Amino acid sequence: MKVLIVGAGGREHAIAWKISQNEKVEKIFIAPGNAGAELLEKAENVNLSNNIEEYVKFAKNNKIDLTFVGSEELLVAGIVDEFRKNGLKIFGPDKKAAILEGSKAFSKDFMKKYGIKTAVYEIFDNAEKAKEFLNNWSDFPVVVKASGLAAGKGVIIAQNHDEAIKAVEDIMVDEKFGSAGNQVVIEEFLDGVEASILSFTDSKVIVPLLSAKDHKKIGENETGLNTGGMGVISPNPYVTDEVFESFKNDIMNPTLKGIQAEGMDFEGVIFFGLMITKKGVYLLEYNMRLGDPETQAVLPLLENDLLELVEYSFDKKLSELKVSWKPLHSCCVVGAAKGYPESYKKGDVITGIENASDDELVFIAGAKFEDGKFKTNGGRVLNAVAFGKTLDEARKNAYKLLSKINFDGMYFRKDIGNVK
């Protein structure tokens, strides 16, 4: 069996690592590529551009049995639709369903339509009207979001009126996030603890995976600039049985009803970004693919073969599958380049990856393999993942692993998994 994984980050390395454990899989291609392929016997990088036709052509020419899409851009652009038209098997939402991630404005209206618990909001495609609305808003902080895809960075929490006006100007006038800021969503700020729940769906049922907790800010205690995520723990200690029931009843089940009512029919992933507050559990956003770095912490705890979940999804029999988990906690800490999420240096040699023991994992993200060495090539460079019978043990093991790895200016948060 030949598998093509679409994407380039630590998430794609983790997906390839998990899929490579299936004995039927003889070859895994990663496009546009991830340096972690060097650490996997079955994996090979393919340098394809962001052109869907190129992917279709490659899949046909190389007789790919399954394509698994990791990153969001091509999903929103309609890669699944094109593969289906060409009779190629692909796991992920079609264009019609991917809009739930591609447009925050669409997804908020979808939540409202199907009674899914979410923050109060308004949508604007005109900066002056957005500012006018904020002039009458008195409840700060307030959240200002670019509606389109902004690599997880298009959300600004404005502490006061001036910051909110600046956020609108940054997004809509200065186009800080490009065309993603053609529309903005302004919504009430929810105070609480975030949770990520990744799930698989065949559009008949939604099967949630283990909960996770991301750490989005660059600085300790959630301070500083937004990032794509600086570390994750799984399971999330704040997702109690009561929280999980609220999630199922107020968010997951009405989402499924909405998907069916809108005629969205696909096999893929739904990632629920949640906020657990004193007033209950709210949905912040949907992502229509596996999260990064959540995947790196969640997949290693999955007892099932990943392709088993995929095949059951294609057969529309997910409801019959028993999903099992290792009785462990995981902690993933991101090692980032100095200066990230702003400008940072590339090309520094990474040492110590080979020092990881059998029960430790290093997933490669923003790095390249050149002249027999791993070198930094992005902001979030690598993910150190370790496990324990308790969260505290998993945390200690992850930082112990990270201490074996080095590159010039490596930065990481020291409080990943600290539970108050």
How sure is the predictor about 406, in pLDDT bands with cuts at 50, 70 and 90? very high
d(CA 97, CA 102): 9
Interstrand relation of 90-91 and 66-69 (parallel, antiparallel or unpaired)? parallel
Helical spans, DSSP H, in 38-143: 52-61, 73-77, 79-85, 95-102, 104-113, 127-135
Beta strands in 325-408 (DSSP E): 329-336, 349-350, 361-364, 367-370, 373-376, 380-388
Q: Do residues 106 and 89 make contact, with C-beta atoms less than 8 angstroms apart?
A: no
The pLDDT of residue 388 is above 80: yes
Q: Does CATH number 3.20.20.70 belong to domain 2-94?
A: no
Average pLDDT value over all residues in the chain: 95
Q: Do residues 246 and 273 make contact, with C-beta atoms less than 8 angstroms apart?
A: no
pLDDT at position 203: 97
Cα of 173 vs its chain's centroid, Å:
28
What residues does each domain of the chain span?
2-94, 120-188, 193-320, 329-402
How sure is the predictor about 419, in pLDDT bands with cuts at 50, 70 and 90? confident
d(CA 76, CA 147): 13
pLDDT in tens, 42-63: 999 999 988 999 999 999 999 9
d(CA 137, CA 361): 47
The pLDDT of residue 359 is above 80: yes
Q: Does CATH number 3.30.420.590 belong to domain 120-188?
A: no
Phi, psi torsion values for 21, nearest 5 degrees? -75, -10
Tokens of 181: 């800021």
Q: What mean pLDDT comes out for the span 213-233?
A: 94
The dihedral through the CA atoms of 129, 192, 71, 347 has a sign that is positive
pLDDT in tens, 66-95: 999 998 899 999 999 999 999 999 999 999
pLDDT at position 151: 73
The pLDDT of residue 226 is above 90: no
At 401 the three-state DSSP class reads helix
| Lowest-confidence region among 178-187, 261-270, 334-343 | 178-187
Q: What are the CA-CA distances from residue 189 to residues 4, 34, 118, 162 (Å)? A: 40, 37, 11, 16
Opening angle at CA 244, ends 238 and 249, nearest 5: 145
Portion of the chain with pLDDT greater than 70, in percent = 100
pLDDT in tens, 186-195: 999 999 999 9
d(CA 210, CA 197): 7
The dihedral through the CA atoms of 38, 43, 46, 52 has a sign that is negative
Q: What mean pLDDT comes out for the span 264-285?
A: 96
pLDDT in tens, 123-149: 999 999 999 999 988 889 999 999 888
Residue-level length of the chain: 420
| CATH superfamily for domain 329-402 | Phosphoribosylglycinamide synthetase, C-terminal domain (3.90.600.10)
Q: Do 2-94 and 329-402 agree at the fold level?
A: no
Q: What mean pLDDT comes out for the span 175-185?
A: 87
Torsion, Cα of 240, 244, 250, 252 (10° steps): 150
Q: What mean pLDDT comes out for the span 240-264?
A: 97
Between helix 104-113 and helix 95-102 the angle, nearest 10°, is 100
pLDDT in tens, 334-353: 999 999 999 999 999 999 99
CATH class of 193-320: alpha beta
pLDDT at position 152: 66
Q: What mean pLDDT comes out for the span 146-175?
A: 88
CA atoms within 13 A on the CB side of 255: 32
pLDDT in tens, 300-320: 999 999 999 999 999 999 999
User: Residue written as tokens 């995929």?
Assistant: 310
Opening angle at CA 187, ends 186 and 190, nearest 5: 150
Helical spans, DSSP H, in 204-351: 241-247, 253-261, 294-298, 306-314
Long-range contacts of 325-329 (CB under 8 A, 24+ apart): 325/210, 325/301, 326/300, 326/301, 326/302, 326/387, 327/389, 328/301, 328/387, 328/388, 328/389, 328/394, 329/233, 329/234, 329/235, 329/387, 329/388, 329/389, 329/390, 329/391, 329/393, 329/394
